[in-house]
């Protein structure tokens, strides 16, 4: 039986009752955070327009973005067109949503589609890896004088917990191809909201204490550092000093959460569910991080750019995606986390309906798909449609901005919110862009 749904854009209140302590801590960090941002950004002033209560509720939510780098094919995943000339050789299978079929390569997700919200009508109008990656992560194109913060940085700021010892934004991307295309950036929000990028390992480097260095030694050093920092701050009061102290405290917090990054702590049955692949282990780690309070985690799986042998590439990669996604949804649901965790599956674009001479599909942004599940989005919803050959969107066309606004609203952040950068108000999404209300719960 499904748990009762929540009011639109809100996660269950029963699991999110804020304690007085958390409330005060949140208030404190909200105010302190403003000062820190001024220090980091140099010129930025931040203010919130939404009621404090709503803001605080949002602070126990997380987003896991599954980034299909290089552009997975919508035909071989979420929007199959079997027996059409554009459809390729794969069949489709019925899903747990009556009337909805997905690629035969996704039997596990087919049985879980009633837990998800599928958007089949993205027209994002950019088919370049780097420019499209940036746009999808920032929800819009940059301007000559403005580099916008990406979704991870915004949600790190908006959802960060007051007493968190863990980072606010973590990105996994182990392959080298396309790693830097997204140019992840907090921009004017400041380095506090930059991602911790774990590209080589599941664990941040240098997290372990030195050999022969006891907890007592560690504590003594911290106390000495705190004393010296306090004296320094009294003599040199400035936002920069304050920021330095905050950063130091976070490093200490990270070191204390060493066991968080140890996947061997997971029961074997859970490890088996995600599978032994690097992608599976990163996704399992993403769940652990979300559970520990990390607001935004991106797991990049590269590289889907199948200009040659598209079908074999998807034959190889989609079953892994199917297994790992299904494991994540099951895991989140069984832990009661799915209502607090928004899962988004997308890349920078989809792939062409036309099949080229190498049996490949090329870049295509005119009609492709993304999947959402969990916090703030409807279960079992399908939004938009493409024509029978998958060449055009014929219903519910939306772009990168609308998807971005939907992610914000799903976790309780108003898409009409502004930041202030100097004298300029910076909206979280461009003016005129609206969320896809039909998919919000």
Partner 1 sequence: MASPKLELQREHGREEILFSLSGCDGEFYAGGSDGRVHCLNPTGQAAPNRPPLEGHQSYVTGVACSRGHLWSVSYDGLLNRWSIESGRLISSQKAHQKWIRDVQLSPDGMTLATAGDDMKLRLWDSQTGRLIHNLEGHAAQSPQGFSSMLYTCCFSPDGALIASADRIGEILIWEVSSGQLLQRWHASTMYTWDEVQRLRSIGGIRSLCFSPDQSTLAVGGMGHVQNVDGLGGKARVEWFELQSGKQVGTFESEAHKGLIEGLQFTPQGSHLVAAGGSSKGFLILLEPKAEKAALEVESPMYVHQAVFTSDQGDLLVVGHQKATSWKLT
Is residue 271 at the binding interface for partner 1, with CB under 8 A as the rule?
A: no
Q: Are 372 and 116 in contact (CB under 8 A)?
A: yes
Region 223-262 residues binding partner 1, contact defined as CB under 8 A? none
Backbone angles phi, psi at 397, to 5 degrees: -60, 130
Contact with partner 1 (CB under 8 A): which of 174, 242, 256, 438? 174
**What are the tokens at 145?**
């004088």
Site for partner 1 in 50-109 (CB under 8 A): 70, 82-83, 85, 89-91
- Tokens linked to 91: 């069949």
Residue 177 engages partner 1 in binding (rule: CB under 8 A): yes
Contact letters for partner 1, residues 133-172 (x by CB under 8 A): ----------------------------------------
CA torsion 180→419→254→137, rounded to 10°? -30
Instruction: Determine, following the binding rule CB under 8 A, whether residue 319 of this chain makes contact with partner 1.
Output: yes
Residue selected from 49, 219, 358, 437 as contacting partner 1 according to rule CB under 8 A: 358
Q: Nearest distance from residue 14's CB to partner 1, in Å?
A: 41
Ranges of H-type helices in 275-384: 278-292, 310-334
- Percentages helix, strand, coil for the chain (3-state, rounded to 5) are 40, 15, 45
355/177 Cα distance (integer angstroms): 23
Nearer to partner 1, 33 or 88 (CB): 88
Task: Tell the residue number behind the tokens 């993403």, with chain if given.
Answer: 286
Q: What x-and-dash track marks residues 277-296 binding partner 1 by CB under 8 A?
A: xxx-----------------
Rounded to a whole number of angstroms, the minimum distance from the CB of residue 176 to partner 1 is 5
Least Å distance, CB 180 to partner 1, is 13
Burial 215-230 (b: 16+ CB within 10 A, else e): eeeeeeeeeeeeeeee
Assess 175 for contact with partner 1 (CB under 8 A): yes
Establish if 199 lies at the interface with partner 1 (CB under 8 A): no
Q: Which two tokens stand for residue 195?
A: 């991602």
Contact window for partner 1 (CB under 8 A) among 18-26, 111-119, 290-298, 312-320: 312-320
Q: Which of 45, 307, 391, 418 binds partner 1 (CB under 8 A)?
A: 307
Nearer to partner 1, 177 or 223 (CB): 177
CA distance 231 to 235: 7
* The two structure tokens encoding residue 122: 């993205």
- Name the residue nearer to partner 1 (CB basis): 180 or 334: 180
Single residue of 17, 176, 206, 238 touching partner 1 by CB under 8 A: 176
What are the angstrom distances between the C-alpha of 250 and each of 167, 209, 253, 278? Answer: 8, 15, 5, 27
Residue pair 102/95 in contact (Cβ under 8 Å)? The answer is yes
Task: Tell me the β-bridge partners of 345.
Answer: 66, 371
With respect to partner 1, which residue has the nearer C-beta, 269 or 357? Answer: 357
Q: Using CB under 8 A as the criterion, which residues of the chain lie in contact with partner 1 when the complex forms?
A: 70, 82-83, 85, 89-91, 174-177, 276-279, 301-303, 305-309, 312-313, 315-317, 319-320, 355-360
């Amino acid at each position: 039986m499904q748990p009762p749904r929540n009011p639109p854009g809100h996660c269950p209140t029963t699991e999110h009752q804020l304690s007085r302590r958390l409330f005060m801590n949140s208030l404190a960090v909200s105010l302190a955070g403003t000062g820190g941002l001024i220090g980091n950004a140099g010129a930025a002033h931040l203010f919130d327009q939404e009621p404090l209560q709503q803001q605080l509720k949002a602070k126990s939510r997380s987003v896991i973005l599954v980034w299909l780098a290089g552009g997975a094919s919508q035909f071989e995943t979420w929007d199959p067109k079997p027996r059409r000339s554009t459809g390729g050789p794969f069949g489709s299978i019925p899903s747990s949503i009556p009337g909805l079929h997905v690629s035969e390569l996704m039997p596990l997700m087919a049985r879980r589609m009633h837990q998800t919200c599928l958007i089949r009508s993205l027209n994002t109008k950019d088919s370049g890896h780097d420019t499209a990656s940036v746009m999808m992560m920032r929800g819009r194109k940059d301007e000559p004088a403005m580099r916008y913060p990406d979704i991870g940085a915004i949600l790190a700021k908006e959802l960060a917990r007051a007493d968190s010892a863990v980072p606010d934004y973590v990105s996994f991307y182990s392959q080298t191809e396309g790693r830097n295309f997204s140019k992840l950036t907090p921009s004017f929000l400041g380095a506090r909201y930059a991602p911790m990028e774990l590209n080589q390992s599941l664990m941040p480097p240098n997290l372990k204490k030195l050999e022969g260095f006891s907890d007592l030694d560690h504590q003594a050093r911290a106390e000495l550092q705190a004393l010296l920092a306090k004296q320094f701050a009294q003599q040199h009061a400035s936002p920069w000093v304050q920021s330095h102290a905050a950063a130091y405290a976070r490093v200490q917090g990270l070191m204390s959460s060493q066991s968080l990054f140890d996947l061997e702590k997971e029961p074997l049955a859970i490890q088996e569910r995600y599978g032994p692949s690097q992608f599976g282990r990163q996704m399992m780690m993403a769940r652990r991080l979300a559970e520990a309070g990390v607001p935004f985690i991106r797991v990049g799986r590269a590289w889907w750019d199948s200009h040659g042998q598209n079908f074999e590439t998807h034959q190889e990669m989609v079953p892994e995606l199917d297994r790992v996604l299904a494991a994540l949804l099951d895991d989140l649901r069984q832990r009661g986390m799915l209502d607090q965790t928004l899962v988004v599956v997308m890349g920078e674009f989809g792939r062409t309906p036309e099949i080229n001479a190498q049996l490949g599909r090329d870049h295509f942004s005119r009609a492709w798909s993304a999947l959402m599940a969990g916090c703030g989005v409807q279960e079992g919803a399908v939004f938009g449609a493409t024509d029978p050959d998958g060449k055009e969107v014929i219903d519910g066309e939306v772009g990168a901005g609308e998807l971005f606004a939907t992610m914000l609203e799903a976790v309780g952040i108003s898409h009409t919110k502004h930041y202030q950068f100097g004298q300029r108000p910076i909206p979280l999404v461009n003016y005129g862009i609206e969320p896809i209300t039909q998919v919000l719960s």
